[in-house]
Amino acid sequence: MTNGEVYKKTLVFSVKRLIFNTICVLVILALSTAGFLIVEKMSDNGLIGLGIGLVFGIIIVAVLAHFMAYTYKAGQIAMMTRAVTEGSLPDDVYGEGKRVVKEKFLTVAVYYAATKLIQRIFNEIGKLITGAGKAIGGDTGEGIAGAVNIGIQVVIGFLSDCCLGWVFYRKDLSSGKATLEGAGIFFKHGKTLIKNLGRIFGIGILSLALIGGALFGIFYLIFSNLPEAFRSLSNEIIQIVQKEGETVSIWISDPGHLAIIAAGIIALVIWFIIHGAFVRPFILVGVLRNYMESGMAHMPTEADMAEVAKKSGKFADLQKKVDKA
């Protein structure tokens, strides 16, 4: 199967994730709006009510995401992994994806424990890389380390997903043992996997410019026709800031500037949802294919694992636990 075919076949997970995320956003907006209207009517402090509603909305969404959303991401990775390693997928891709996730991770807690461990190992690997920037010294070193760290965090997200794919691929191993191998693949084939950087950042930047830019334009056009609403919101914020004795920024005091900020924030949130549901999986297919092919062609050896253990304390700790089990 080509990357395009794999992406189209697993698109059902993206659609379901988009629907779920849209519902979550609507829940947050509804509770925030309700909080604003209720408190505004009772005490003329609508902004405080908005904050209370926002907090409740985030808590509810966090709980829903914890117990439901993980199957969309994990199921999609599981099916992408099968497609690039076996060359085919079943007709009921969504049902099979859910089955595989539940089979590999018996409970939600087991899934999050495994993925958190993967993230920690790769974050530790990232710190080793950013440490090279700091070693240059002075402000230059800090600047290089900071810039590199931003890029590394993006790459780590993809590598963590690839490692999760390897866990699904190695059905005969425990998730702990497969995670060790997955991290070993990165160390062993790092140079090969680096060729994915152009794909990751190129498509990501293009997505932000096109989708994010279009969304910003739409929302700014809408908000620019609501001057009274933003004047009222601006006055509310100014009163709160002045009570704290702080200087009021022009981005708050000017309704036009406030409309720009609001349009930017909302556009960024919606872009993040769309990008995560549709664009990121498109990028991931190619990255995952390179990762899996590298691992299958040259499996990490005991010597490779020992080398990784020297550089990553989290990896070494997991290796000890796996060896004892």
14-30 pLDDT, tens per residue?
Answer: 999 999 989 998 999 89
pLDDT score for 139: 52
| pLDDT band for position 235 (cuts 50, 70, 90) | confident
Give me the phi and psi of 154, to 5 degrees please: -65, -45
For residue 248, the SS3 value is coil
Please give the pLDDT value at position 43: 76
Look up residue 68 and give its DSSP letter: I
Per-residue pLDDT of 272-285, as tens digits, reads 999 999 999 999 99
Token readout for 283 is 């990028």
Q: Which of 135, 127, 179 is nearest to 153 (CA)?
A: 127
Rounded CA Rg of the chain: 23
User: pTM score > 0.85 for this model?
Assistant: no
For position 14, what pLDDT does the model report? Answer: 94
- Tokens in use for 2? 């080509």
Q: What pLDDT digit, counting tens, does each position of 50-106 carry? A: 888 999 999 999 888 877 788 898 899 999 999 999 999 999 999 999 999 888 876
Tokens of 297: 């062609």
Rounded mean pLDDT of 221-248?
76
pLDDT at 142: 55
Q: Which amino acid is at 16?
A: K
Domain limits, the chain: 1-104
The one-character DSSP state at 45 is -
Q: How many other CB atoms are found less than 10 A from the CB of residue 80?
A: 30
Long-range contacts of the stretch 321-324 (C-beta < 8 A, 24+) = 321/176, 322/174, 322/176, 322/177, 322/180
